């Protein structure tokens, strides 16, 4: 029995195109990452997908999908995308610590996963001048992150959980 195709507003469907084009795009991303991008077999990279590694590492599991225009940035952290995971079009993943997307998980279009937060306790200090505190994000296997959702630093999504469209998963409170 074959699996049913994804349906609904949060479905991330592979774009039409050739495998050759996807392989060429993956090879280009690997070349630009200079060894900091590891990819399993059958990774699908849509047009406009970008991976920027400035000191971190990116691992793409077997059969994962990077949607059109999505962006993964690891200037100092690690991004791990599990086998069969789908990253929607124009979604953004930024890691200064670590972001893990489990196997078979879906990150909807325009979703944002950022593992940093400003740290100043003084409300008078502009956000752009505040130091950043990185805290890892974990998205469990088979979880679904809806379109336009945002996950803050330290967010943990359980395996199989669903985060609705336009939801904001805030940073959990710090223990003092």
Domain boundaries, the chain: 39-169
Q: What is the pLDDT of residue 128?
A: 84
| DSSP conformation class of 174 | P
Q: What is the pLDDT of residue 175?
A: 53
pTM for this predicted structure = 0.88
Q: What is the pLDDT of residue 7?
A: 56
Q: What is the mean pLDDT of residues 78-103?
A: 96
**Residue 2: pLDDT band by 50, 70, 90 thresholds?**
very low
| Mean pLDDT taken over the chain | 89
* Tokens of residue 10, six digits: 């949060």
* 8 A C-beta contact, residue 53 and residue 30: no
Q: What is the pLDDT of residue 1?
A: 37
The phi and psi torsions of 69 (rounded to 5 degrees) equal 75, 5
Q: Which residue has the tokens 């900091």?
A: 36
Per-residue pLDDT at 116 exceeds 60: yes
Local structure of 32: helix, strand or coil:
helix
Per-residue pLDDT at 133 exceeds 60: yes
* 8 A C-beta contact, residue 105 and residue 139: yes
Percent of the chain past pLDDT 70, that is, above it, reads 90
Instruction: Provide the CATH topology of domain 39-169.
Output: UDP N-Acetylglucosamine Acyltransferase; domain 1 (2.160.10)
Per-residue pLDDT at 5 exceeds 60: no
* Tokens of residue 68, six digits: 């059109």
* Tokens of residue 161, six digits: 């959980």
Q: What is the mean pLDDT of residues 152-157?
A: 94
Q: From the CB of residue 152, how many other CB atoms can be counted at a distance below 10 Å?
A: 18
* 8 A C-beta contact, residue 130 and residue 167: no
- The better pLDDT of the pair 68, 170 is held by 68
């Amino acid at each position: 029995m074959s699996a049913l195709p994804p349906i609904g507003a949060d479905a991330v469907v592979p774009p039409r195109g050739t495998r050759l084009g996807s392989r060429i795009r993956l090879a280009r991303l690997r070349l630009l990452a200079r060894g900091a991008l590891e990819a399993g077999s059958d990774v699908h990279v849509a047009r406009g997908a970008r991976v920027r590694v400035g000191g971190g590492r990116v691992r793409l599991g077997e059969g994962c999908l990077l949607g059109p225009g999505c962006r993964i940035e690891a200037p100092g952290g690690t991004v791990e995308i599990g086998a069969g995971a789908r990253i929607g079009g124009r979604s953004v993943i930024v890691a200064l610590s670590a972001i893990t997307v489990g196997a078979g998980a879906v990150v909807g279009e325009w979703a944002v996963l950022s593992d940093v937060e400003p740290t100043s306790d003084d409300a008078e200090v502009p956000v752009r001048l505040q130091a950043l505190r990185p805290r890892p994000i974990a998205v469990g296997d088979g979880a679904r992150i809806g379109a336009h959702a945002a996950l803050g630093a330290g967010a943990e999504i359980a395996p199989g959980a669903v985060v609705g469209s336009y939801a904001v998963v805030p940073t959990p409170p710090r223990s003092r």
